[in-house]
A and B are shown apart, each in its own frame.
Chain A
Amino acid sequence: MTVASASVVAARRTITVERRVVIGGLLVVLGLLDALVFGYLSPPGHAVFSFTLTGAAVSVPNLSVTPRPVCVALGALSCVIGAGYVGFRLSRIARRVAAGVCVAALAVAFLCWADAGRIPLPFTSLLSTTVDSAIPLMLGALSGCLCERSGVINVAIEGQLLTGAFGAAVVASAFGSIWLGLLAGPLCGVLIAALLGLFALRYRVDQIVLGIVLDLFASGITAYLYDAALVPFANRLNSPATFGAYKIPLLGDIPIVGPVLFDSTIFLYITYVAIFAVQVGLFSTRWGLRVRSVGEHPTAADTVGINVNATRWRNVLLGGAVAGIGGAYLTIGSVGAFGKTMSSGLGFIALAAMIFGRWTPLGGVAAALLFGFMTALSGVLGTINSPIPSDVLLMFPYVATIVAVAGLVGRGRPPKADGQPYIKT
């Protein structure tokens, strides 16, 4: 590694004093929010968290807490962490842990406040729903990463999810095999990706316009086929079986963690593999280096003999397949039958997650989990009769993304050549 690039890397690993003050200050504000808003405004009564799902091997007793001292303690913790953030030069990992702990503290303080004096809050099932509803978001965000790291903007994630869901349901139903459905989902995602590749790379159409048009096309064609074929032949074409949960031996019996992470459908395990493959692939392999070089500086990549458009084609199709699996989850992984416009904006949340995660696989996955938590939370708050309107919680992913792109919490940087077609000269 040359001196210049080493210093660039070093510069990326440390942050300026101003940013330390801003982010540290923000963490302190979160702490004050925990202590003052959730702590002092919490209604009287205990907040009870239940951890045991029915049928679990090891049962964990319910946890009953008094919200006020807990919220104040969590707030104090956040304030200390925030002060430490400002005062010390933390390593990159430590900075992330600090931010993560503060966000988690905020979530717990919020839950204490929301559940005070109400029926027990099913904590484990909340986490499990979080992970489940984040599956299509995580896969969508990975799809976005694969495309955009190679320099192709993928706004068509929504369309890929929708066609994936459609294809998986129809094939699984028509052939009576969910495994064929699991194969058909990614193939249908690849179809939309192929259109994206064709028009973006061959005809050099603006990729944002193109993505929106492909979303429109996917919603139109699936809705049309739904009315024309799936409604009249619902028994034959739209009544697929669904994948059941598969509990991983031993790991699945761990209290709390087991049911959340190791007792789910095959889609969650595919997601684990995909996260690992994309993260390691993009950042630790020769393939990944080439993909990123094509996304950042295609001319330079071309000069050293990398075929720019072939690399982009591969990544676009791969991204379509990954998003197609996410789509298949919506039908054969969860509800079964396909419904008109059933992706309902999930593709755009996935896009938001990828942007929020600053065009990195792990960042996108973390954002997808955060957004999934908001969705799960809105459902759970309904069951405990909380007065907080679910619409406000569901709004959160989008507001968070606007805040992120406005640079209030540190702006993400897209790959330099993202969205620009490469013309060999």
Chain B
Amino acid sequence: MSSELADQAEETAKSEDGPPSPATGGDGRPGARGFTEALLDAVTSGNTVTVTVLAFLCAIFLGGLIIAFTNTTVLHAWGNLFSAPGKAFATAWDTAAGAYVAMFEGAIVNPHAVSAAFHGGPVSTVFNPLSETAVNATPIILTGLAVAVAFRAGLFNIGAASQFIGGAMIAGWIGFAVHLPFILHAAVAVAGGLVGGAVVGGAVGFLKARTGAHEVIVTIMSNYVMEYLLLYLLGLTAFRRPGNPNPISPPIATNAVLPHLFGSTLRVNVGFLIALAAAAAVWWVLNRTTIGFELRTVGSNPRAARSAGMSPERTWIVVMLLAGALAGLAGAAVVQGTNFNVAPQIYGTYTVDSITVALLGRASPTGTVLASLLFGALRAGGVTMQASTQVPVDIVTVIEALIVLFVAAPPLMRAVFRLREPRAGGGEQLEARGWGG
């Protein structure tokens, strides 16, 4: 990608920025840029499309190197580098490319399935990869929104797992312990999940508003508190599957299962629609309501918000309730859409995934959805890759980490690809802050 294009993209991003903001921060240190202001600049308009794309390519490239050079065949060929240099490079390329092709086939479309469908095979297998991508993306979209919406209010929500667990516990309990007719049961359980997540998230907001406890520390700790609470509950008779020694809840009632969208062979279910609807709702709240306006104002500058008669404390509570509700929905979507019970480790890696997609999507609902779909595809493809090429699925985690590492450091990407610096300095990356912010 040319540097002119990059500059153009920077310009576009800048022009959407609005007027430059004053140089004093919300924390009153003269000269230091306020954290929330910098965060918003960084997350919403900072990283250009160029940097994001380059970061993705770099991560894929490094991931390919790791895949190639942990393969015994490749290492053997490189042992004979000087006698057969062509073979050394060819095996390395084949190994990495083979893994990525398998990943693509598992995430987007598998040509073999397409040709089989033309010759009378089942059509559903053609769409299975996309269905898996959507299934994997669903909880990431919802937890990602939970982080993104908090970002917009200047809060850093590292507690997606805790809120997810809150939602999963309530949704699961309603699912297996209550008996209601079809649709209504599923809806009540989803609503329960929403409330469960909101309670956990809201508690963080309340603590921050009342005592000033730093939300980063509180949310990190709340993840572990909720994980142990989940383990504790799964040990109680009320929550445990009868006759099963493992800590696992009874299966939820069939009435509480979220229906499949395209027949029972494809796993994609109503949960995906809930996620997309939630993204639309978040967009609407952020851009078309008074609460959203207050939220963004508090995120930009809490002191200005306060002098305009808004209450940052109230906004923190509201936004954490909202964030918790979104992550709680993710818990409900997983319990009712794919797992059908509550088990330990159900929260997966959503804490980090959610932060990653929110950063990648620049804290906008649309960006978060797109980034989540990408990560859903990586996850779905990773499973296929491991099955067909024996490359461990954990490489996906490495690639995710690398993407965010590179996205968070535009100067590195610019140095590697010799891009020009944007004309006006600052604002293009997530500025650092301390615990005190």
Q: Are the C-beta atoms of B405 and A217 separated by less than 8 Å?
A: yes
- The answer for the CA separation of A277 and B382 in the assembled complex, in Å, is 46
**In the complex, what residues of A have CB within 8 A of residue B71's CB?**
228
Residue A392 is within 8 A (CB to CB) of chain B in the complex: yes
Please, what's the 1-or-0 string for A245-278, where 1 marks a CB less than 8 Å from any CB in chain B? 0000000000000000000000000000000000
Q: Are the C-beta atoms of A205 and B430 separated by less than 8 Å?
A: yes
Q: Are the C-beta atoms of A206 and B408 separated by less than 8 Å?
A: yes
- The answer for the CA separation of A221 and B70 in the assembled complex, in Å, is 11
Given contacts A389-B235, A414-B435, A418-B436, contact A210 B408 (CB under 8 A): yes
| Overall SS of chain A's interface | helix
Q: Are the C-beta atoms of B352 and A216 separated by less than 8 Å?
A: yes
Among B156-178, those with CB < 8 Å from A are 156, 158
Q: Are the C-beta atoms of B435 and A395 separated by less than 8 Å?
A: no
Q: Are the C-beta atoms of B404 and A220 separated by less than 8 Å?
A: no
Residue B401 is within 8 A (CB to CB) of chain A in the complex: yes
**B1 CB to nearest chain A CB (Å):** 20
Residue B238 is within 8 A (CB to CB) of chain A in the complex: no
Residue B26 is within 8 A (CB to CB) of chain A in the complex: no
**A214 CB to nearest chain B CB (Å):** 8
**B347 CB to nearest chain A CB (Å):** 12
Given contacts A205-B408, A398-B224, A420-B434, contact A220 B213 (CB under 8 A): no
- The answer for the CA separation of A418 and B392 in the assembled complex, in Å, is 38
**In the complex, what residues of B have CB within 8 A of residue A11's CB?**
none
Q: Are the C-beta atoms of B225 and A399 separated by less than 8 Å?
A: yes
- The answer for the CA separation of A223 and B32 in the assembled complex, in Å, is 40
Q: Are the C-beta atoms of A419 and B232 separated by less than 8 Å?
A: no
Closest to B158 in A: A212
Given contacts A199-B405, A419-B434, contact A391 B235 (CB under 8 A): yes
Please, what's the 1-or-0 string for B204-227, where 1 marks a CB less than 8 Å from any CB in chain A? 000100011110111011101100
Given contacts A153-B434, A217-B402, A223-B392, contact A209 B355 (CB under 8 A): yes
Q: Are the C-beta atoms of B435 and A204 separated by less than 8 Å?
A: no
Q: Are the C-beta atoms of A391 and B397 separated by less than 8 Å?
A: no
Q: How many residues on B have C-beta within 8 angstroms of the other chain's C-beta atoms?
A: 55
Residue A345 is within 8 A (CB to CB) of chain B in the complex: yes
Residue B431 is within 8 A (CB to CB) of chain A in the complex: yes
Q: Are the C-beta atoms of A405 and B430 separated by less than 8 Å?
A: no
Given contacts A207-B432, A407-B213, A420-B432, contact A392 B228 (CB under 8 A): yes
Q: Are the C-beta atoms of A405 and B434 separated by less than 8 Å?
A: no
- The answer for the CA separation of A409 and B434 in the assembled complex, in Å, is 22
Closest to B38 in A: A206
Given contacts A217-B402, A228-B392, A406-B213, contact A419 B433 (CB under 8 A): yes
- Which of A394, A395, A397 is most buried by chain B, counting CB atoms within 10 A of its CB? A395
Our count of residue pairs bridging A and B at CB distance below 8 angstroms stands at 168
Residue A330 is within 8 A (CB to CB) of chain B in the complex: no
**A142 CB to nearest chain B CB (Å):** 18
Q: Are the C-beta atoms of B395 and A224 separated by less than 8 Å?
A: yes
**In the complex, what residues of B have CB within 8 A of residue A401's CB?**
217, 221
Residue B123 is within 8 A (CB to CB) of chain A in the complex: no
**In the complex, what residues of A have CB within 8 A of residue B435's CB?**
153, 414, 418-419
Given contacts A419-B433, A421-B432, contact A391 B228 (CB under 8 A): yes
Among B221-256, those with CB < 8 Å from A are 221-222, 224-225, 228-229, 231-232, 235
- The answer for the CA separation of A227 and B402 in the assembled complex, in Å, is 19
Q: Are the C-beta atoms of A351 and B228 separated by less than 8 Å?
A: no
Residue A138 is within 8 A (CB to CB) of chain B in the complex: no
Among A331-366, those with CB < 8 Å from B are 345, 348-349, 351-352, 355
Residue B346 is within 8 A (CB to CB) of chain A in the complex: no
- The answer for the CA separation of A223 and B382 in the assembled complex, in Å, is 14
Closest to B396 in A: A220
- The answer for the CA separation of A219 and B349 in the assembled complex, in Å, is 11
Tell me the A residues contacting B by CB distance below 8 Å: 153, 155, 195, 199-200, 203-210, 212-217, 219-221, 223-229, 345, 348-349, 351-352, 355, 389, 391-392, 394-395, 397-399, 401-402, 405-408, 414-421
In the A-B complex, the 8 residue pairs with the closest CB atoms? A220-B397, A419-B434, A227-B392, A217-B401, A223-B394, A203-B409, A220-B398, A391-B232
Contacts A/B (CB < 8 Å), 12 sampled: A199-B409, A210-B405, A214-B401, A216-B401, A217-B398, A223-B397, A398-B222, A401-B217, A401-B221, A408-B211, A414-B436, A420-B433
